[in-house]
Amino acid sequence: MAAALLALALGGCAPVIQFRSQDKAGTNEPAPPTEMITEQLITVERQQHQDVANQGLDELLVPNPAPYAIGSGDVLSIVVWDHPELAGTAVNASPGAPDPSGANAAPPGFVVDHLGRIQFPLIGLVPVEGLTEEEARAVLTKKLSRYLAGPNVTLRVQSYRSKRVYIDGEVKAPGLQAINDIPMTLVEALNRAGGLLPTADQSRIVLERSQQRYRVNLRDLVQKGINPGLVMLKPGDVVRVQSRDESKIFVSGEVITPKALTMHDGRLTLNEALGESGGISPLSGDARQVYVVRKTSGRTRVFRLDAREASSLALAEAFELQPKDIVYVAATPLANWNRNLSLLIPGALTSAVSATTRP
């Protein structure tokens, strides 16, 4: 009987695994269909990935950024030559007792109030919010010309305090970054934050603007010949550089070393995942049943590769994994039979092998 069971296990066909899931009520849902990994499937998956990566990217690319516009809270330095009596002072100090520490003191100059105006001698309140330095200088010159003959005005932003972006995640110095006269591109903001840490995932940079969320893949932009310096930030933007640890692939089943793998800047192929796990176990792994389980919005997808075919290596190298994918290698029928029998009758496999080899 033991010999017959062993022969049946060795000659049987490998069953295909059926992956089932449960809904919130705990009832079993129908098993998702298994999709064979083919060249056609890889082409479709690659195109869908490109469409998602490029979604909304045109809104972020600004080849010719506009000059800095003065905003509420900025401090302006204004000099009217030959009229030192019109020099600005720290006009934004709160009334009352002075601050001995000086922590809240602003540099001397003309502070743009919450309505976008400055208080200037002779001419009173002057709206400057939304104007460039050149435009604000022209407005002041025109108004002063009513009281002064040929006024020579110099105006510049002394302290940039109205526009900021926030950098978070895997950078050396996360925090607020003030937008100044240098255009605040994504690359500029990352450099001001000290650059990316070694744990940063350059393929998963999230930019949140108002109610919109954009995913920026720096590696993909460079490969397409798009300058990342064209990605322009706006005031209030939040940039988060995600960690590589958030983009892991899980390899389990009949491989030499089951483990969680970190993607290489957003890229890891099925072939690389199997290779970094030591490959399929020659003793118990079924090369006909290499699965990739992927949770997408609304459903679970299951991909299958038959690694015995001649083209399987090329297909595995071309099939790119996504974060949180699970690579699973099924066991051979003999391995399953051995494990089940060992649970029921310890030592039964040794007896069966001895029975078949006994003279």
Domain boundaries along the sequence of the chain: 32-39+247-335, 75-88+108-158, 162-244
273 phi-psi bin (left φ>0, alpha ψ -120 to 50, beta other) = alpha
What gap in Å lies between CA 264 and CA 86, rounded to an integer?
A: 60
Q: What pLDDT was estimated at residue 1?
A: 44
**CATH code reported for the domain at 162-244:** 3.10.560.10
Q: Which fold has domain 32-39+247-335?
A: Outer membrane lipoprotein wza fold like (3.10.560)
Q: What pLDDT was estimated at residue 78?
A: 92
What gap in Å lies between CA 45 and CA 111, rounded to an integer?
A: 55
First-to-final CA distance of the chain = 17
* Mean pLDDT of successive 10-residue stretches along the chain, which has 359 residues: 45 56 58 89 87 74 92 93 73 40 58 94 93 96 91 93 95 95 93 94 91 87 86 95 91 94 89 94 92 88 91 92 94 77 61 50
**CATH code reported for the domain at 75-88+108-158:** 3.30.1950.10
Q: What pLDDT was estimated at residue 93?
A: 38
The residue behind tokens 């029921």 is 344
Q: What pLDDT was estimated at residue 12?
A: 45
Same fold, 32-39+247-335 and 162-244: yes
What gap in Å lies between CA 171 and CA 297, rounded to an integer?
A: 30
Q: What pLDDT was estimated at residue 9?
A: 45
Q: What pLDDT was estimated at residue 309?
A: 86
What gap in Å lies between CA 216 and CA 54, rounded to an integer?
A: 9
For the whole prediction, is pTM greater than 0.75?
no
The residue behind tokens 């039964």 is 348
